[in-house]
Amino acid sequence: MAKFAVGKDAYGISDRSGFRYRLRNMRKEWNGLLVGEDEYEAKHPRLEPRRVIADRQALFQPRPDTVIEVAGQILLIMNPFQSGSAGSSVITVFEPSHSRSTSNVVIFRKTQAFDGFSTTALEKAAGYTITVVDANSYTITITGETATTGGIRGGGGVVTVAAGVATTSSTFDSISVTFDSASKTFDEA
């Protein structure tokens, strides 16, 4: 293998400017030019583009969500309620293409009082059982309040409806229950 002279006092000529520099103070650039240390330019970062990595789209070993999502609230049309005749507690609700069935429970929110029906009565926490009239309307019965004029549309412009849960009340008669000590159960007489 060939050996090179040390040349600690040797000079070199810059490939860029033609100036003379001590050889030990010269630097080689990324493009192969031998230049003085005051002329040295590092390679610009844009000349070395980064590797583009595609965004990951799928999850590794996903597990399906087992929680059943509750149907959300639906915004009704402007003034969706119409009171029945004067003194009636029946209200017709207009919800286009509602696809509900008779005996379904609905809960209203963000209502406004109208024709003798208060906001509290319209937004009953337990909701109302409906009777379907047609594909775009159904009726509910408000307990404790009646229409003053009748045939009035109202309820407000931001009324929402959500499906409710039918509640069933059960009774328990403690007089007719006996304890069966053999099977350790309560039996109804």
Q: Residues 78-130: pLDDT tens digits? A: 999 999 999 999 999 999 988 899 999 999 999 999 999 999 999 998 899 99
Architecture of 74-163 per CATH?
Beta Barrel (2.40)
Predicted pLDDT of residue 13: 93
Q: Which tens digit of pLDDT belongs to each residue from 134-166?
A: 999 999 999 889 999 999 999 998 999 988 876
Q: pTM of this prediction?
A: 0.53
The residue whose two tokens read 């000529």 is 13
Ranges of beta strands (E only) in the chain are: 11-13, 20-22, 26-28, 34-36, 74-75, 81-83, 90-94, 105-109, 128-129, 131-134, 137-141, 153-154, 160-163, 177-180, 185-188
Buried b (16+ CB within 10 A) or exposed e, 80-108: bbbbbeeeebebbbbbeebebeeebbbbb
What residue spans in the chain does CATH classification 2.40.30.20 cover?
Answer: 74-163
